[in-house]
Structure 1
């Protein structure tokens, strides 16, 4: 019996898995961001001493926080005391950060002759600069000779403008991925907003100075413990009509807008430092945003209170900070007060010369001690290593003797 023979010439192997070729790609790039630091009152900052700086607010680039430090009298006496020094510092904790930097002193004549020190658009032999820990700095001890700066177009109306650009180096691997399904943003907020716009299913009516407003008990109860107790308290459970006598219709309308849409109403006035400079404190009290802040406190709406405080914070300036301090004290706006005290401490000498501060001393004496503590706290955390001058402390207190005693207590 003849057996069938197996062909040895076949190249097909059914057990062999067909090989695949995959690819990936490493992409290194920079995540860029910029910050403008305006120094108003340069002549007052000059003379603070070698090694003492003015700091910008923290700003974020590439997932890290940064701060600009300007040393009007130079960073150290050995090689920069006749120069203005400028540095960028890493202000957040983390691992090593590699970055490109650019510092530009703005030419305020309009000619565009900015003084620029930049890593961008040029080859760096050692690669990007590495900052290894919080407080690490990059910059120039001899950024600009002080005598030349003070007669240049970079200084105008006693003001300097410094632009800082940072490019944080980031590497990632690009490779093929499965197809994805896009999930749109949540529509929950807009759906609740539509309830307010249509009033469909509304089950309670408010009388505000004769003007009627319809709403939904469940929505208001979910947003405010005040209304929850009103609607679901056994004694008031069937209350479908409420009269509120201590709010104006426009304030209640803005309150409803927040409770349904989780944002400030478009009726809220824009707030700028300029607008608050022009208004008296009594006039600021009459603005919708301040009345809404008071309503947020009454109706236990902590997020609305923060939104109001954040909006009012935009009005802080040398001339207006004392007004906003008084406002924050009156309405228990703790975050707004904290920011205002910090700003006043950082700009103390200029703030003390304003009319608003004179009014604050007379009408809100309790804020004097809080400002004194803020100044002491700021002085301790600054890099100067020395206290404020005795004359400044004397101006801040009722008299120089009281100020001196408090200063000695802080420094013993």
Structure 2
């Protein structure tokens, strides 16, 4: 046929574009002196900057299954896709196979070659930000504080109320009450304080106040009035 002349396959469509295989029996470029056959996949329809992956398989027609595969699909998408700028752009191999070797190989049968082609068109999709609703479980912090109060674990302050004593946690009380915060950690407070004597309050009321100040609920009226004093 001569250098630079090709045989074209039927046009096939992939990804909304038309494609064709161009086979150059005497090579595509004169510098190869017809020593190699060339094979290319061409964009046969209008398109601009079409990104695609290719695979060319020269079929072994002896039944041995020793096909010759040239694949673009084993590359990462960031570097793998080949960009075809316009109609007629091609991807392939100028020196696909040495001609003399091909003529005596199992790839040629009755002067015919069988070639499979795979094309994958890479499309770019842009998505806007998504909003997700994540259900949160109900807080059990108050219950945890209540258990710490009742067990006495980590307690570091003792309240003497009448003839009864109550163990509590300075950090929790300071977080709930600016009065306790100043008393325990303020400029005139005493960080080493480990006992407080409470007067003018019934032990039962103080017990409820202490409990509910930990679980963040104040239902009892007397307890509520006492809480006002401590600004809880």
TM-score bin, normalised by smaller chain? 0.5 to 0.7
User: Does 2:53 align with 1:96?
Assistant: no
Alignment of 1:210-249 (within 5 A): none
Alignment of 1:173-212 (within 5 A): 173=126
Provide the rounded CA distance (Å) in 2 between the counterparts of 1:176 and 1:125: 22
Once the two structures are TM-superposed, the CA of residue 77 in structure 1 deviates from its matched residue by: 1.3
Provide the rounded CA distance (Å) in 1 between the counterparts of 2:5 and 2:88: 15
Provide the rounded CA distance (Å) in 2 between the counterparts of 1:68 and 1:80: 22
- Residues 80 and 142 of structure 1 are in contact (CA less than 8 Å); yes or no, is this contact kept in structure 2? no
Counterpart residue number, 1:144: 97
Aligned counterpart in structure 1 of residue 16 of structure 2, from 47, 57, 63: 63
Alignment of 1:134-173 (within 5 A): 134-173=87-126
Q: Taking structure 1 as the reference length, what is the TM-score of the superposition? A: 0.30
Once the two structures are TM-superposed, the CA of residue 171 in structure 1 deviates from its matched residue by: 2.5
Provide the rounded CA distance (Å) in 2 between the counterparts of 1:171 and 1:82: 40
Secondary structure of the equivalent of 1:170? Answer: coil
Counterpart residue number, 1:116: 69
- Residues 34 and 99 of structure 2 are in contact (CA less than 8 Å); yes or no, is this contact kept in structure 1? no
Counterpart residue number, 2:5: 52
Secondary structure of the equivalent of 2:109? Answer: coil
Secondary structure of the equivalent of 1:103? Answer: strand
Gaps of 5+ in 2: 131-232
Alignment of 1:125-140 (within 5 A): 126-140=79-93
- Residues 89 and 135 of structure 1 are in contact (CA less than 8 Å); yes or no, is this contact kept in structure 2? yes
The alignment covers a number of residue pairs equal to 130
Alignment of 1:75-86 (within 5 A): 75-79=28-32, 81-86=34-39
Once the two structures are TM-superposed, the CA of residue 141 in structure 1 deviates from its matched residue by: 0.5
Secondary structure of the equivalent of 2:124? Answer: strand
Q: CA RMSD in A?
A: 2.1
Counterpart residue number, 2:169: none
Larger Rg: 2
Provide the rounded CA distance (Å) in 2 between the counterparts of 1:120 and 1:100: 6
Provide the rounded CA distance (Å) in 2 between the counterparts of 1:126 and 1:173: 19
Runs of 4+ in structure 1 over 2 Å off: 121-127, 171-177
Once the two structures are TM-superposed, the CA of residue 127 in structure 1 deviates from its matched residue by: 3.0
Once the two structures are TM-superposed, the CA of residue 173 in structure 1 deviates from its matched residue by: 4.4
Alignment of 1:10-409 (within 5 A): 48-79=1-32, 81-123=34-76, 126-173=79-126
Provide the rounded CA distance (Å) in 1 between the counterparts of 2:57 and 2:122: 20
Provide the rounded CA distance (Å) in 1 between the counterparts of 2:76 and 2:126: 24
- Residues 102 and 166 of structure 1 are in contact (CA less than 8 Å); yes or no, is this contact kept in structure 2? yes
Provide the rounded CA distance (Å) in 2 between the counterparts of 1:155 and 1:93: 34
Secondary structure of the equivalent of 1:172? Answer: coil
Greater strand proportion: 2
